[in-house]
């Protein structure tokens, strides 16, 4: 008899929880589950097993697009579990901007897959990933004419913006972390050291050569701003000497 009562009580509690969940807007539940997935794959798996409603919401593409991948390494040094592989594959299928950003950086700098890198980074930037926009501007600086000028315009604009300035620093740090983890094979960034300021010598007399020892918040020249930013990137690229 006790067992039957326990089962009935459990069933009632489960139905009560489901009823409460159904009264909450689906977007809010999706946001909560995206945060759960960020913290622990085990927890999100348990959520899926708890009830049909949560399982359906947890499998929604919205959850996979918005989940953070901060706890997942960019470069896998050990074999992934089936659970991890399945989760990341779903992030890829659902267009998670962080996943697209990582694939774009690795494809461009390490795998020489320039077309796919451009596609991934452009898509991530359109989805609001600031790091992807930052990397695109850096890549453009290694280009010629129109691309280079576009890169100068985008990057200097980000650096001058009070809203984006601190975010750019975080984007730079993360890009440098990735570059230190991978084998850089793209010959364009290995052997080419672009200069953005056309009056570099004159400006250098006033403020010194671009260096990673200072920030360029007071610079007015867009080219000098970009040259200083490139100096950070050059520090982690393979030496050609």
- Please check whether residue 180 is in contact with residue 236, taking contact to mean a CB–CB distance below 8 angstroms: yes
Instruction: Tell me the two tokens of residue 51.
Output: 């009830």
Contact (Cβ atoms closer than 8 angstroms) between residue 67 and residue 97: no
3-state secondary structure of 49: helix
Q: How far apart are alpha carbons 49 and 56 in whole angstroms? A: 10
Helix (H, G, I), strand (E, B) or coil at 86: helix
Task: Yes or no: say if 177 and 109 are a contact pair by the CB < 8 Å rule.
Answer: no
Q: Compute the distance between CA of residue 211 and CA of residue 232 in angstroms, rounded to an integer.
A: 8
Q: Which residues contact 206 (CB under 8 A, 6 or more apart)?
A: none
Cβ of 186: how many Cβ atoms within 10 Å? 20
Whether residue 203 contacts residue 224, with contact meaning beta carbons closer than 8 Å, is answered with yes
Averages of pLDDT over each 10 residues, the chain, 241 residues: 48 54 79 82 80 82 88 84 89 94 97 95 96 97 94 95 91 96 94 87 54 56 93 88 54
Look at residue 6 in the predicted model and tell me its pLDDT: 46
The angle formed by the CA atoms of residues 47, 48 and 50, to the nearest 5 degrees, is 65
Residues 240, 232: Cα–Cα separation, whole Å: 16
**Residues near 58 by Cβ (< 8 Å), separated by ≥ 6?**
33, 37, 44, 47, 48
**What pLDDT, on a 0 to 100 scale, did the predictor assign at position 9?**
47
CA angle, corner 133, sides to 128 and 139, nearest 5? Answer: 160
């Amino acid at each position: 008899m006790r067992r039957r009562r326990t089962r009935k009580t459990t069933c009632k509690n489960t139905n009560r929880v489901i009823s409460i969940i159904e009264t909450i807007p689906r977007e809010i539940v999706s946001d909560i589950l995206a945060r759960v997935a960020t913290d622990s794959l085990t927890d999100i798996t348990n959520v899926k097993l708890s009830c049909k409603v949560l399982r359906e919401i947890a499998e929604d593409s919205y959850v996979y697009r918005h989940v953070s991948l901060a706890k997942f390494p960019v470069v896998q040094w050990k074999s992934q579990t089936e659970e991890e592989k399945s989760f990341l594959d779903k992030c890829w299928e659902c267009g998670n901007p962080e996943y697209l950003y990582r694939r774009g950086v690795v494809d461009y700098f390490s795998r020489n897959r320039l077309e796919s890198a451009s596609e991934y980074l452009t898509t991530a930037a359109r989805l609001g990933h600031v790091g992807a926009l930052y990397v695109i501007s850096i890549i453009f600086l290694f280009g010629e004419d129109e691309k280079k000028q576009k890169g100068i315009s985008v990057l200097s604009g980000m650096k001058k913006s009070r809203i984006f300035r601190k975010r750019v620093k975080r984007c730079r740090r993360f890009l440098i972390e990735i570059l230190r983890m991978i084998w850089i094979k793209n010959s364009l960034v290995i052997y080419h050291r672009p200069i953005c300021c056309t009056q570099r010598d004159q400006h250098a007399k006033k403020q010194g050569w671009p260096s990673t020892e200072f920030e360029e918040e007071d610079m007015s020249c867009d080219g000098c701003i970009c040259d200083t930013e490139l100096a950070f990137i050059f520090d982690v690229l393979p030496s050609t000497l």
